[in-house]
Structure 1
């Protein structure tokens, strides 16, 4: 399939909060036991802009980290250096859908949150890049295909450590209970929550950037090593996280926000036991400040080691909780859920 002379498309994919079950989407756990993850996409996005250029080069830009590469248009650039996500998606799309012809393109991206956020930003970026090419080439790819391709590019081709939930949440959007089954199968189950329950849940939620970007790879490698060795403690805590996802789903469907908070706190305890470094000094400080300010419960989103925390509290206490967290060095805010997955559109100007 050929790319036209005046290609100019943009795409975005939502970031997510990992509510429960995170880690059970890792191999080898989900391959042997099956994983359950509950997550929700929020009003923070990864954006991709793909357009043809007249300078005959491959221009890759990550504006949020002020990085640019100007390369010869080729499909065989290393995907283990530079802007690896941009390079890997470009290479795959040119090889697979453009008959191996390396088209001169300018590919620019940005993300609404700092790197290492714990909100699935890198995977959402890969999904946004794929969605931009899907839109440009009118490819017959649904959200399952986009998510699966994003997983293959990020985890298999590049070899980055991590699970599967981020790609599926970004591709589908919404509040989902996702099952990860042996044989690399995934089933995305959107939750049909009554509007008043959803409003109360959203009104009770505060997210807070710890000020500390985290590198999840070491934590994930520790978790995977424990699973491969069938470390009893790691496996037991993964079982707890999996059950927490089921119980939190049921609590939300009933509108039991206090029950949801209870499970959130319990899940955080189990999460910390899966690997060293999940909780850091900065995370513990913010967590303790929040609990002293009448938060019901909290946990980190993602693998841990920094990034964003989430807390549930009485909606009438949200303003005070944000003030306390900001005074303690965090960056706290309210958040809104979103229900659309990745989407791409042509730019007419």
Structure 2
């Protein structure tokens, strides 16, 4: 018999608390053990009910949700799903929440609440259910400290491209890779599952603390050494050839493997490139998007890496890829940037 997931809902709106309680209580494996109207109330009820998952709004009376989240993740780390209207704006609030270790974010409707919540109810349920089994990482306060020089002196490497796919927990995972990359790194392309509007903030945050240039991908850009291109939240990213030059291609097609942007779309496009020596990396995330694409890359000669279970917030995508033979090397997150250096510049290890 499946254990019941105990949930505490924290929101200052009585209507929102009622709607979320109805949505989550309707699931056979879920129980809303309590609701809270502000941080102090939530703190007491966390002690009383010991919930498995906390849903949290950013805007609350007294201590705001982000400040409370930081205290939680410092003193009593637990899975938190942020449900807030502020998360829809792709602002620094969302980036801060993800950096603090929030499991997932859900944009809270601001009007037509009952109807809009009906539309996103399945998404809320799936994220809360996944959070209950996901890993909680303590806050890494050194994540964006300036990284030491990598010692790379040469500008060339035998690899033409690095491709990364990630989902839940991926924002934190990417932060453990990109700031360590050399300015001589091959072009990097990333598909991270995020809603529209969020990627620009993520790219800006990473760019401020990296030796490479990080940006949201645009259509028909020439891939350059020392640049990182992240797929927009509502378009597929592919890599195509224009003669000897590799370029980005954005498309607004149907979802693939349940997602847009899709990691499979990115990886498959690279697998289909002629004379391209690439490295494919699949990181933490729910589901199996990217597994088949990574297998195609490996079958066509690419080096492939999967994040290990111990350091994955959700060992879904890397596990699916490993199970079908798509992953050549399984590594803890903290060793992936070291492996990239060793692969690209083996004589400078």
**Which TM-score band applies after superposition, normalised by the shorter structure?**
under 0.3
Higher RCO, 1 vs 2 (CA within 8 Å, ≥6 residues apart): 1
TM-score by length of 1: 0.23
More helix by share: 1
TM-score by length of 2: 0.23
